[in-house]
Structure 1
Amino acid sequence: MHVFVTGASGWIGSATVDELLAAGHDVTGLARSDSSAAALGAKGVRVRRGDLDDLESIRGGAENADAVIHLANKHDWSNPAASNAAERAAVQEIGDALVGSNRPFLLASGVAALTQGRPAAESDPSPFHGPESPRGGSENLALEFVDRGVGTVSLRFAPTVHAAGDHGFVAAIAAIARQQGVSGYPGDGTNRWAAVHRSDAVRLVALGLEKAAPGTRLHAVAENGIPTRDIADAIGRALGLPVRSIDPENVHAHFGWIGTFFGMDLTATSGATQDLLAWTPTGPTLLQDLDNGAYPA
């Protein structure tokens, strides 16, 4: 199968490309820089130059592929409105390009804030609609294309996709601990984060491409919820720093932009996904990665 991947040189995307190549797929990757293009080319990936704002390039990549895996995101926390708008526009462009083809369209989403007071399940619809919502409401927009002959599958990733080399949320929290000289956790530290190792996440993506029916929501979740206090304890051990509670009213001052997320309860289950895909997570847990030096001092 010829698969077009956006975000092909990113944290999840680069490993997804490796997984697809190992499975025998032909891959075209969207690359916005010379270094990304060179890295993809060295793997034997066809390179399509462009970025999330280059809708013409994105559409061309989608039109010329047997399947699309959309993993790119600006992640501009200083201007979330721009990130949301770009994400929605890209999903609209891909969906329009695939109408009537029944070709698979897998897109990255998340489990954050899907439900309140309980873990999110695959059966829970996203509450986010419209361009002003997180990710521009892209999951719901993409799923609307199922009735127009597009094989949309939502890939809902845990808030942390961890492994050595991660530069996402946990890496940011560890960096703040270094800066502050203390590994903090919000309040009593009982709010929890779901997690998945990168190797398990990309294996799920490849299985979803092969097995998931249009309209399916998949949860890339290995651990349903790890208390933030346990995360802070592990970061403290790894960095040799004291661990302490951060008063809820000081969370934003202490953690900055990521305090909003670190103070949330972001839990989810993946039983339906595991049953559907025969997917069993086998990678290290988040705390094992922290204890084994994946986020070094």
Structure 2
Amino acid sequence: MNIFLTGGSGTIGRAVLTRLVERGHKVSALARSQASAALVEDAGAQPLRGDIGDTATWGAAALAGDALIHLANSFDSDAKAAEDALATILKQALPERGSPFRLVYTGGIWLYPDAPPAPLRESVPFAPIPAFAHVAETIGRLERIDALSLAVVHPALVCAPGAGPLEEMAEAARSSQPFVTRAGADTQWPLVEAGDLADLYVRAVESQEQLAVFGCGVEAIAVAPLVEFVAQRLGRSLSLERESPPADLRPDLDIAAGYALSQTVSSETARQQLGWRPRFTDAESLVRALIPAPD
């Protein structure tokens, strides 16, 4: 397939890009900076310089191919406008294409409610934190575009070498500082390893089913034992410190509020519909894989 990728130089994007190239797809990726363009090119894809909010710089190139995987969302004051622009160009351009167009859109578990009575399934109504409200609105707009073949992937908390909550815990332990977060000791976090998540995105883009799936390898673990796993791996002590949101931070810009959500997530839909089999399904093995043991 000829696939366009936004967010290709990010934590998820780099893994997705690599997996797409390995699968033999021709990949072009939006790059905001020269450094991002170099990362894209080194991974075997064609970079296109532009800004996610300016669809005039990349929209035509994206729609000229077979599919778009959308991984870029800034969650800043410009985020809603950028997502609106994406939905608008798709609604305007796709009816004239005359051929199917696949979009894999990135949602997130923070679109879903806190402390569900049972593991979350994709059919549960959205109850987003304010910073995710525009994502929920965009998904609703995309679902109403008849000419669009839509898949929505809802990643859990993404963990990768050097990035994500496990790395943040490790950095705190190495510097003898507490791990500071919005979560409490008993808050349940779903996790996914970046390579496993990349495999799910590739399966989603290669499928033509209209679907929504959770990308979640570890369906839930309380934060306190997760902190302990990291501390044991490094042979250091690590405490947990719960922080409050800054008083002057607008709720619609408070992306960190999601860490306070306690959620258990089922990955059954991704397994059944796409044959997804994540390698990392327990937190301890994920910590061992991503956090190097001290010499």
Superposed pair shares fold, TM > 0.5: yes
Within the alignment, does 1:203 sit opposite 2:199 as a pair? yes
Matching residue of 1:25: 25
Which structure 2 residue ranges, 5 or more long, are not aligned?
none
Instruction: Name the aligned partner's letter for residue 23 of structure 2.
Output: A
CA distance in 2, matches of 1:195, 1:204: 14
**Alpha-carbon spacing, 1:175–1:96, altered in 2? closer, same or farther (3 Å):** farther
Q: CA distance change for structure 1 residues 286 and 141 in 2, over 3 Å: closer, same or farther?
A: farther
| TM-fit CA distance, 1:201 | 0.5
Q: Distance in 1 between matches of 2:115 and 2:223?
A: 16
Structure 1 residue 270 corresponds to structure 2 residue 267 = yes
8 Å Cα contact 1:219-1:269 kept in structure 2 = yes
Structure 1: distance between partners of 2:89 and 2:239? 47
Q: Which amino acid aligns with 1:156?
A: H
RMSD, matched Cα: 3.1
1:13 aligns with 2:8: no
Task: Tell me which residue corresponds to 1:59.
Answer: 59
Shift in CA distance, 239/273, structure 1 to aligned 2, threshold 3 Å? same
2:152 is aligned to 154
SS in 2 for 1:133: helix
Aligned partners of 2:3 and 2:65 also within 8 Å = yes
**Partner Cα distance (2:72, 2:58) in 1:** 11
In structure 1, the residue matched to 2:80 is 84
Q: Does 1:279 align with 2:276?
A: yes
2:3: which partner in 1? 3
Please give the alpha-carbon distance, in whole angstroms, between the structure 2 residues aligned to 1:103 and 1:262. 34
Say which of 231, 236, 243 aligns to 1:236.
231
1:74 partnered with 2:74: yes
8 Å CA contact retained: 1:165, 1:295: no
1:201-247 CA distance string (max 9 Å, x none): 11111111122412x10111111111011222233335555444546
| Inter-partner Cα distance in structure 2 for 1:152 and 1:174 | 37
Greater shift, 29-38 or 169-178, is seen at 169-178
The letter of the residue matching 1:86 is: A
Answer whether contact 2:112 2:125 (CA < 8 A) is retained: yes
SS of residue matched to 2:77: helix
Match of 1:122 in 2: 122
Alignment length (residue pairs): 284
CA distance in 2, matches of 1:99, 1:131: 31
Gaps of 5+ in 1: none
* Separation of aligned partners in 1, 2:141 and 2:152: 11
Quickly say closer, same or farther: Cα 1:66–1:258, change in 2 above 3 A. closer
SS in 2 for 1:154: strand
Q: Is the 8 A contact 2:111 2:136 kept in 1?
A: no
Q: Give yes or no for contact 1:186–1:245 (8 Å, CA) kept in 2.
A: no
2:189 aligned residue (187, 190, 193): 193
CA distance in 1, matches of 2:93, 2:131: 20
CA shift in 2, pair 1:109/1:284, >3 Å: same
1:181 aligned residue (170, 177, 180): 177
Q: Which amino acid letter does the alignment assign opposite residue 71 of structure 2? A: L
Q: For residues 54 and 276 of structure 1, do their structure 2 counterparts lie closer, same or farther at Cα, with a shift above 3 Å needed?
A: same
Shift of 1:39: 2.4
Cα 1:171/1:93, change in 2 over 3 Å: farther
Q: 1:230 to 1:134 in 2, by over 3 A?
A: farther
Label 1:225 to 1:30 Cα distance change in 2 as closer, same or farther (>3 A).
same
Q: TM-score with structure 2 length normalisation?
A: 0.82
Deviation of 1:279 after TM superposition, in Å, equals: 1.1
Amino acid at match of 1:12: I
Normalized against structure 1, the TM-score is what?
A: 0.82
